[in-house]
Amino acid sequence: MMLLWLYRLCIVAILAFALRKGEEPERFVSAIIIAAATADAINHAAFGSPAFYALDPGHLVIDTWALVGMLWVALRANRGWPLWACSAQIIVVLAHMSKLIDLSLVRYGYFTMTQLPAAIQMVALLAGTRAHLLRKQHIGPYHAWRPDLQPA
């Protein structure tokens, strides 16, 4: 139980670090992760805990929305790390799709496919925010977005 709370504390610390020290790409991905976690809590409060062996439409919608948001950042940000965060989110959505295809996969990989990517996303966000700070210190301010894809 203590390990779970330590993990959660690390996630909160990484999100706070990215929100405070990062620029728009880091803040957008942090906001997507926070919004998805909030939506997940609302989903569980409204519909209860889903059966592990069945597809939960709420999780599918939330995780697909997070994928779309992270993909938008990954394609437009002047950074490499959002590709890692987006790739991890693709794994989560594929886990939901695997439940639609074959429920025997639940016992073997579903938990790993839906839980491990969050750790990958946190490592990518932490490393990306740190790299951004070092780059900014070394070369000065630079564009957060690719010049031809500045947000409107």
Read off the pLDDT of residues 86-116 as tens digits, 9 standing for 90 and up: 999 999 999 888 887 776 656 667 778 888 8
pTM of the model: 0.85
pLDDT digits (tens, 9 = 90+) for 55-94: 889 999 999 999 999 999 999 999 999 999 999 999 999 9
Q: Identify the bridge partners of residue 145 per DSSP, sorted by sequence position.
A: 77
Q: What are the boundaries of each domain within the chain?
A: 22-43+54-142
User: What is the rounded CA–CA span in Å between residue 24 and residue 51?
Assistant: 37
Q: How many CB atoms lie within 10 A of CB 78?
A: 15
Q: Which of 43, 41, 95, 42 is nearest to 67 (CA)?
A: 95
Q: Is 121 exposed, middle or buried (0-12, 13-18, 19+ CB in 10 A)?
A: buried
Average pLDDT value for the chain: 90
Q: Give the per-residue pLDDT at 101.
A: 76
